[in-house]
Amino acid sequence: MLWLRPLIPEDFEALFQVSSDPLIWEQHPESNRYKREVFQRFFQAALDSKGAFIALNAGTNEVIGSSRFTALNPQENSIEIGYTFLARACWGRGYNAEMKKLMIDHAFEYVDRIFFYIGENNLRSRRSIEKVGAHLLKKVERQPQEGAKYFAAVYCLTRRGFGPPAPIPANHPKP
């Protein structure tokens, strides 16, 4: 249904075309990410992360969205998956679940814990991550480098199973 490959600078225009739909961002803390100058900061941060992927429809090679790995923490043996968005035409059709499964399966080859920081009011994203078995740990204030400060719901998956994970260690960095 979809495939992922590393994001490259030449992907900007195609990915911006997907992101330029204001309804994609209506529940997101940075609801103006559909604007070129705002999306440019997001895109550059994705490239700088060295963990960003572009999602393509496997049948057509059409760009349909993006996601990334970030905040690798070797001491805690954890990583974050986030900054995911998909074209509205892909919503409710299994693309998000497939993308998350690919990324989760890959991450669990290397880490024991995966975190997801989702805008507190982004109910669509919160429901979708709960469907893959992630558990809500807590809510925190977050300041990403490319966007505005917001309150995030922190979810976690652990390799050892899908039961409630252990609490976040006190020294867990604030991304």
pTM of the full structure: 0.85
Q: Which residues pair with 137 in a beta bridge?
A: none
Question: Which domains, ranges and CATH numbers included, belong to the chain?
Answer: 2-114 (3.40.630.30)
pLDDT in tens, 103-130: 999 999 999 999 999 989 999 899 989 9
Q: Tens of pLDDT along the chain (175 residues)?
A: 999 999 999 999 999 999 999 999 998 888 899 999 999 999 999 999 999 999 999 999 999 999 999 999 999 999 999 999 999 999 999 999 999 999 999 999 999 999 999 989 999 899 989 988 999 999 999 887 777 788 999 999 998 764 444 455 555 544 4
Give the DSSP per-residue string, 2-49.
Answer: EEEEE--GGGHHHHHHHHT-GGGGTTSSSTTTTSHHHHHHHHHHHHHH
Is residue 77 within 8 A of residue 159, CB to CB? The reply is no
pLDDT at 161: 62
Give the DSSP per-residue string, 51-110.
Answer: -EEEEEETTT--EEEEEEEEEEETTTTEEEEEEEEE-GGGTTTTHHHHHHHHHHHHHTTT
Is residue 18 within 8 A of residue 7, CB to CB? The reply is no
pLDDT in tens, 22-32: 999 998 888 89
